[in-house]
Structure 1
Amino acid sequence: MKSSVNYNRTILTQERTPGKLTVIRDNYKKYSIAYWFILPTLLYLAVFQVYPLFESIRLSFTNLNFLIPTSGEYVGFQNFKELLFNDPEFWGIVGKSLFWVLVSTVLQYLIAVPAALILNQSIRFRSLWRGLLMVPWVTPIVIMGLIWKWIYDGDYGLLNHYLGTDFVWLGDDRTVWLSVLLASTWKGFPYATLMILAGLQGIDRSLLEAASIDGCSRFQSFFRITLPLLKPVLAASAMISIVITWTKFEMIWVLTGGGPGVSTSILPTYIYTKSFQYYDMGLGSAVAVLSMIVMLIFIAFYFKLLKKLQD
């Protein structure tokens, strides 16, 4: 008798539980306006992000070259073998890409941390300085690159004018990376400063006051209280800065075009060179796929190191 009652209860519960299609239909009716607002963004991502990604992967397995009418056949991993084992420039460009990302990001945060600490204090015209801070970040990269290219110009550059020299900053292997990194740091540090400043605003002032009462100096309070509390903000913002810097093709291209020679070539500029200067879309797509793989490995290593430091 009890088993039959339990069976009937189970049947009634199943009948009352709505099916998946019913749940989806009810959610659509409830949030239909939100879905329609999201739809343009999803379409944009599908057309300009997802489709190019899969198309690049497909082209990387072909020999498509716009200069060869009969090209476009499937060649398997031939493009990847060419890059990994026969291209004398590829591995050097990978190393320069990692150097570019790491050094540029570190320089950005070395400037951003003290800048955020200063802007977090009660200084005169603080709102003005905070507004001016955003000027390099909101300026388009191409415009910023042209400004710095004019500053470095060997004949009419502002830097040579004040130094009284005629040095070609972007044409010398000894100074070209320093010049490019300086421009990249100037462009990127406002974002890092803004993120750190937001993190500082969220720190409870009572903790710092308590540390001061206990005899901690400002230097000790920063490293023992402020910096540990900023770790989540630093980790997330640094990850975004790394990704942005990795794909910052425009800055190097406007300043040097990857030169002199291939001195400042990174993977994004190498993709452009292979695809749109030599018109070898198959090889250029293979570079893009390898660039994505290198970036994913780098991000995985970053998160593993971050987790290790947190533990």
Structure 2
Amino acid sequence: MSDQPLIQADRAVPPPATTTPTGGRRRRLRLLSRTDRVVITLMVLVPLLLVTGFVWLPAAATVLLSGTNWDGIGPLNEIEFVGARNYDDVVNIYPPFVPAVQNNLLWLAALFVVATPFGMFLAVLLDKELRGSRFYQTALYLPVVLSLALIGFVWQLLYSRDQGLINAAFNSNVDWYGDSNVNIWAVLVASGWRHVGYIMLLYLAGLKGVDPSLREAAAVDGASETRTFFRVVFPVLRPINIIVLVVTVIESLRAFDLVWVVNKGRNGLELLSALVTQNVVGEASRIGFGSALATIMLVVSLVFITVYLATVMRENRE
């Protein structure tokens, strides 16, 4: 009998209040002032409008115009849709297209096989916190801050046929930018010089995030530094590797400034981006034909971007 009031009192205690995630979010939104809600809305809406207006709408217009023969001057109501004829002309009867594809592939191979491993090697060295590493890191990253057009002018001081440092040092008379047999290699060296600093920074950021206990465990097992890097550290850098792959592909596709400064993408320096510019804003404006070239570049870029996004989303789910 004496336990009865205690049991009733225990039953009278209400259960602890629980807040559902949705209810919690609504409560937090109610706590925000009107000014905060306006600021958050603008922070989301303004970038969305800018991306839509300057990226997605022009991309969609490019795809649509690639099926027309519009020259960019005539009225819009006179645009004639020609279907896939522009793509057929690009592949079959446009002579610069094949050299441009070859040069873009060569650009990709040079950045991926030479510049990227070298940037990773420099990142590994700087990660050791050597004396003066801050200075070297800044010096190696400095070219990334410069535009490719400015880099073209800088390397002109080295490549100039009459007053260039290279010809003066080796007592030669090579026209590095004018000779179609060597100008692509000269431009690739200048582009790789900039790309190395970018890749170095990406890998250096990734190496700083590697758990030190992994290296310590490998050292206890007697693994060398080289074996530790390739067997332990490098697999951990998988997200960085994917980013580097996507960045390298996009860099090789959108390479434009450097060759345009040299000779407007002609005489051995044909690139897809230069061909697009020549046809869209060149002397003979062919918006439809240039849009077909731009659409080809867009499709290739989207393939690698989609692979990157799918990989990131899968890792987040895991």
Query: What is the TM-score with the length of structure 1 in the denominator?
Result: 0.80
For 2:46, the equivalent position in structure 1 comes to: 40
In the alignment, structure 1 residue 271 sits paired with structure 2 residue 276: yes
For 2:290, the equivalent position in structure 1 comes to: 284
Give how far 1:209 is off: 2.2
Give how far 1:46 is off: 2.2
1:1-311 alignment runs, 5 A limit: 31-66=37-72, 72-260=79-267, 263-277=268-282, 278-297=284-303
Q: Which has the larger radius of gyration?
A: 2
Instruction: Deviation per CA, 1:34-82: give whole Å up to 9, x if none.
Output: 2212333223222221221122122212212257789732222221221
CA contact (8 A) 1:83 1:90 kept: yes
2:131 partner SS:
coil
Instruction: Deviation per CA, 1:68-102: give whole Å up to 9, x if none.
Output: 78973222222122112322332332232222223
**Structure 1 unmatched ranges of 5 or more:** 1-17, 307-311
CA contact (8 A) 1:180 1:252 kept: yes
Q: Distance in 2 between matches of 1:94 and 1:232?
A: 28
Give how far 1:296 is off: 3.2
1:156 partner SS:
coil
2:302 partner SS:
helix
Q: Distance in 1 between matches of 2:204 and 2:132?
A: 16
Q: Distance in 2 between matches of 1:217 and 1:34?
A: 51
Q: Distance in 2 between matches of 1:177 and 1:28?
A: 59
Q: Which amino acid aligns with 1:231?
A: R
Residue correspondences, number:
283
Q: Distance in 2 between matches of 1:296 and 1:66?
A: 26
Instruction: Deviation per CA, 1:142-184: give whole Å up to 9, x if none.
Output: 1112111232111111221222212111222332222111111
CA contact (8 A) 1:102 1:242 kept: no
Q: Which amino acid aligns with 2:56?
A: V
Q: Which amino acid aligns with 2:296?
A: L
CA contact (8 A) 2:67 2:81 kept: yes
Q: Distance in 2 between matches of 1:289 and 1:100?
A: 20
Give how far 1:133 is off: 2.1
Q: Distance in 2 between matches of 1:162 and 1:241?
A: 32
Instruction: Deviation per CA, 1:269-293: give whole Å up to 9, x if none.
Output: 1101111222111111111112212
CA contact (8 A) 1:150 1:156 kept: yes
**Structure 2 unmatched ranges of 5 or more:** 1-21, 313-318
CA contact (8 A) 1:105 1:245 kept: no
Moved more, 130-139 or 34-43: 34-43
Change over 3 Å in CA distance of 1:37–1:297 after alignment to 2 = closer
Instruction: Deviation per CA, 1:220-255: give whole Å up to 9, x if none.
Output: 112111212222211123212321331121122113
Instruction: Deviation per CA, 1:126-147: give whole Å up to 9, x if none.
Output: 2222222221001122111211
Give how far 1:117 is off: 0.9
2:128 partner SS:
coil
- When the two chains are superposed, the root-mean-square deviation of aligned CA atoms in Å is 3.0
Moved more, 88-97 or 56-65: 88-97
Give how far 1:302 is off: 8.3
Q: Distance in 2 between matches of 1:297 and 1:87?
A: 25
Q: Distance in 2 between matches of 1:202 and 1:152?
A: 40
Q: Which amino acid aligns with 1:37?
A: M
1:134 partner SS:
helix
Change over 3 Å in CA distance of 1:31–1:163 after alignment to 2 = farther
Q: Which amino acid aligns with 1:33?
A: V
Percent identity, aligned pairs only? 28
